[in-house]
Amino acid sequence: MNRMRSSVTAVSPLGFLPLLGLVALSGCRTSSEVEHASIGEDSAGRGHDATPFLPPMDVTGTVDTRWDYLLGKYDQDGDDRVAATEYDRGDVAFARLDRDDDGYLTSVDFASGPSREERMTEMRAERTLGRYFQDESDATELTLAELEAAFGAYDADDNELLIRPEFDARYEGARVTLAQDDSRMIQRMMGDVEPWDALVALGDTDGDECLAVEEITALFARFDEENTGKLSWVPPAPREERASGSSRPEGPDEGTLAPDFTLEPPDGGGAVTLSSFKGSKPVALIFGSYT
């Protein structure tokens, strides 16, 4: 921590200005408040579970999941899993469903991934680190040293905790703002996820609604998947170029011959070569991603 504090003195040449007139603020929740928020209390002060259990439901309101359906239909011996011999849709279909390749279909194979809201929150948190905790030397990357220095500059009362008023006081003057840097599509995708809320949702491990330096550096490490010690990204094209389309790569000229290729169907079967259709029937090539 001393190393982090000593680095703060070198921050101002990099664009971090001191906060003037901001008094020491205490915005963190106490451990008792965190415990009561997670457990809940009734009017008499008795603890209860504050999070109701909501079972998965389909569009008709029936409590069911895809896994429940498959288990009920194919689990002949009642062992809560489906063996390949119990599944009558073929080996290829079974292998596609058996995501962990253990030879059985189980609830693990059908565990859902993160929700759209969770993905957008994670995206917002990563972009917030990159935009609001960097210096002016390189707008395309954030190092751990820059992150620690920025944390010290945000921490106006020097109590080694970052709270929302401290973050908001620097938010408007950040060197690169999300509104300027993000396309309208990104803005629509993220919706109303605020930068501070995203940081707290992913980084606040003790539930006090503050961020300690250990929590913010752990968040950095989470996004630094290749352990390079920095977060890097390619800045988008200027808004004028995006509007005019000048940043888009040019496609092939009309009449250019398409390159020949051979592809195998994902579910097995014979390979298909593009040139095999030459002279026999029209062929339409569709490029894109369909999910």
* pLDDT tens sequence across 159-210: 999 999 998 887 665 544 444 445 555 555 555 678 888 899 888 988 888 9
Distance (Å, whole) CA 70 – CA 61 = 18
pLDDT band for position 27 (cuts 50, 70, 90)? low
What are the backbone angles phi and psi of residue 250, rounded to the nearest 5°? Answer: -75, 140
The pLDDT assigned to 57 comes to 43
Residues 205 and 210: their CA atoms lie apart, in Å, by: 9
User: According to the model, what pLDDT value does residue 15 have?
Assistant: 39
Confidence band for 142, pLDDT divided at 50, 70 and 90: confident
Q: What angle do CA 170, 172, 174 make, to 5 degrees?
A: 65
> pLDDT category, 232, cuts 50, 70, 90?
confident
Most confident of 124-128, 134-138, 275-279: 124-128
**Selection from 18-27, 58-67, 110-119, 230-239 with the highest mean pLDDT:** 110-119
Contact between 235 and 178 under an 8 Å Cβ cutoff? The reply is no
- How far, in Å, CA of 263 to CA of 33, rounded? 59
pLDDT, average across residues 38-46:
40
What tokens does 274 get? 């593009």
81-83-84-90 Cα dihedral, nearest 10 degrees: -40
Amino acid 231 reads L
| pLDDT surpassing 60 at residue 214 | yes
Can you tell me the distance from the alpha carbon of 29 to that of 34, in angstroms, rounded to the nearest whole number?
Answer: 6
Question: Whats the size of the chain, residue-wise?
Answer: 291
SS3 105: strand
State the Cα–Cα distance between residues 216 and 222, nearest whole angstrom.
10
Residue with tokens 């664009």: 15
pLDDT tens-digit map of 109-125:
887 767 777 788 888 88
Q: How far apart are CA 74 and CA 70, in angstroms?
A: 6
